Structures are given as C-alpha cells and as structure tokens.
Amino acid sequence: MAKKVALLQGNEACAQGALYAGCNFFGGYPITPSTEVAEVLSVELPKIGGKFIQMEDEIAAMASIIGGALAGSKALTATSGPGMSLKQELLGYACIAEVPCVIINVMRGGPSTGMPTGPGQSDVQQAKWGTHGDHPVIALVPASCQEIFTETVRAFNLAEKYRMPVQVLYDEIIGHMRERIEFPEPGELEIINRTEPSVGPEEYKPFDPSFGDVPPMAAFGSGYRFHVTGLNKAADGFPTTKADLVDNEQRRQLRKISAAQSDIELNEEYMTEDAEVVVFAYGSTSRSARYAVNELRKEGVKAGMFRPITLWPFPEKRIAELGKQAKAIIVAELNLGQMNLEVERCVKGACDVPFIGRVDGEPINPGQIMDKVKEVK
C-alpha cells in the first residue's frame, strides 16, 4: 500500500510529527514564525482527546507544559527567539526537576524582537547556555520538512527516555517552506514512553539514583504523591543543602547524557571521505552548502559537508577527526559566529576555520560558500 503523502509547511510537519510521537498536550502563545504549529494542534489535538491551551504569555506557556508533563502527558510548546528568552527560567526548572517536554524554537533574527519574518540561526548558543547552572542539553536542528517530522518524533523519544527537556531548532526558512512529506506508518518509527515506577506509591522516590541515572517517573494523579522543587534535592524530591547529595545529583544529570552521546548524536556527512575542505552547516544553510559542494566537485574541488542534526551535545569527536583530515573547515551560519567558536575549540588549531555569517535577514547562498572554499583550497 502506498504511503500517505502531503505537501506541508515545515511548521505543519512539526505538528504532525508531534501527533505521531503521542503528543497530547500543547501549551503555547502565538509568535512569528512558529504560530502554525499551534494552529494545527489547536484543531488536531481535540480530535484525539488531547488538550490545547493558549496561555497569556510565553512564561505561562512553559509552565503549562511542565504541569502537563508532570501529570503524565507528552507535552509541547512552540516559540521563537523572544519567546525562548522568556521561557528560560522555567526551562531551568524543567532541567533540575527532570521534566520530559519538547520546546520548538523556529529561529528568526535578533536580538530582542529583531526581524520577525526573516531567518536567523542565532539561538544556537542560547539553547546550550540560556539558563543558569550546570545541566545537560539536547538540541536538534532539522534541515527539511520531512526531517522536521522525524526529528520532532525523536525529540519526544529523547525527552521521555532521558527524562529532560529537548529543544528542536529550525529557522524561519524551513518553518515556512513547503515540501512533500511522506507519513510513516504507525509503528514504523520507534515511539518511546517514560519508564514508570516498579515500586508502590509508599516506596517511590522521584529521583532515586538506585534505579540508574534516569530514575523512573510517576504521573501526578496516578496514585503517586511526590515533591517537585527547583531547589537542589534529595532522592525524595525535598530540598537539601548537603554537599555530597547536591554534587552527586548534578553530576548524575550531566552523566545521563554524556554517557549516552552515541545514542543521542546524529550527523550527516556528504562527500567528506576525501574532502580537503569541509563545510560545517545546519538548517537551511546546509541546503546551500550541499548545492555548493556538488558544484565544486564538478570543478574538481574536493569539498564536503558536515551537517549536525544533533547540535547539543556537540559532535566534538568527529569534528576533531575532520580537523586532522581537512585543510579547512568552513563554518556557514546565519549569525556572527556562534558554532564557529565550537568548531575552533574542537579542532584545536589542526586546521583553519574560516567563517561565513549573515544577519541581514537573507540566506547564505551557494555562491558565497563556493567563493570561500576557493579562497582556502
């Protein structure tokens, strides 16, 4: 039987991917260029018994999905740069309380309200460092409408598996372009649900490390009563200032992601096997990079592309290997050098790291990338 196909906008594909993953709660606030995610889910969630709520602001939207997730829902919100800034305090709360939820950030120009209808990729460091304190981060950066669908599914899986917030970042170009989407059949993509307690309500501790680095999670309303706080806490969820408990708890949260990087990391490499110049690009910029690599190869230039799909945790090991192979890794992104600094850190001087950046609301085109490759080849 032929699969169902549709011509969908990236934001619409995101909403459909969320539904496929089992999302049954959306709390959000309209903001360009992400609003279509909310629009679709406002129609579709009630059809399956899910809940859609438009909150009074972005702060309340983040609070609502934390509450929804604690009550057992697969919860989603969608926003853009200014809204993401407002969500940071409660995102930090979700990090320390280990609340699984998914945040979509359709990136636009900034800072402040910037350029609402133009593309940007300047939130990628915010995704890692936006909240204060030490905590793990998972952030995904799809580059097509089909990939927005599958990466939204993966975001929910990672959030549930590792009991933490997961961010999906794609730029306005990908969010508003339309492409052919092929819908996977039910069961074709793996769907992961959080691990529930194997002990009774009286024995349950919500942050018990004896069950491993990712403790089982009960839902409020399921017969389990437990405490959730933004303070450092003991295994029972109640605040503590005991140095050993605080240290162990924070290290456990970081370890649950660092130890699983091979499971979380996902990259695409295009013609990198013999590449003398590698273009590091993500999101819409990677589409220009792919075209540029194809044209350069026709001219005999050994160019390749490295595209991170998981941006955080950062693919440090592979970037270091490419740095030893290539004469240069050119970083192309719609900002003034955010991931450029990460690549420089990883290659440790083994190769040059030229940079192409734009913040004028226009995309990086293949010609710009080709010219830069020819400068350094």
CATH 3.40.50.970 segments of the chain: 5-182
- Helix, strand or coil for residue 267? strand
Q: What is the pLDDT of residue 146?
A: 98
> Rounded distance, CA 119 to CA 131, Å?
23
- Helix, strand or coil for residue 160? helix
On the 0-12 / 13-18 / 19+ scale of CB atoms within 10 A, 181 is: buried
Selecting from 2.20.25.90, 3.30.70.240, 3.40.50.2300, 3.40.50.920, what CATH number does the domain 268-376 have?
Answer: 3.40.50.920
Contact partners, residue 347, CB within 8 Å, separation at least 6: 319, 320, 322, 323, 324, 329, 353
pTM of the complete model: 0.97
Of 359, 361, 365, 362, give the one whose Cα is nearest residue 292: 365
Q: What is the pLDDT of residue 263?
A: 96
Angle at 191 between CA 190 and CA 195, to 5 degrees: 125
> Rounded distance, CA 312 to CA 140, Å?
7
> Rounded distance, CA 225 to CA 375, Å?
63
Q: 21, 75 in Cβ contact below 8 A? A: no
Q: What is the pLDDT of residue 1?
A: 60
pLDDT less than 70: residues of the chain? 1
Which pair of structure tokens corresponds to residue 283?
Answer: 């999101």
On the 0-12 / 13-18 / 19+ scale of CB atoms within 10 A, 221 is: exposed
- Helix, strand or coil for residue 170? strand
Q: What is the pLDDT of residue 3?
A: 83
CA 334 from centroid of its chain's CA atoms: 17
CATH 3.40.50.920 segments of the chain: 268-376
Of 116, 156, 139, give the one whose Cα is nearest residue 25: 156
> Rounded distance, CA 44 to CA 87, Å?
25
- Structure letter (DSSP) for residue 240: -
% of the chain with per-residue pLDDT over 70: 100
Q: What is the pLDDT of residue 281?
A: 98
CATH C-level class of 5-182: alpha beta
> Rounded distance, CA 142 to CA 170, Å?
6
On the 0-12 / 13-18 / 19+ scale of CB atoms within 10 A, 180 is: exposed
DSSP string, 221-235: TTTB-----SS-B-T
Q: What is the pLDDT of residue 102?
A: 98
Q: 1, 175 in Cβ contact below 8 A? A: no
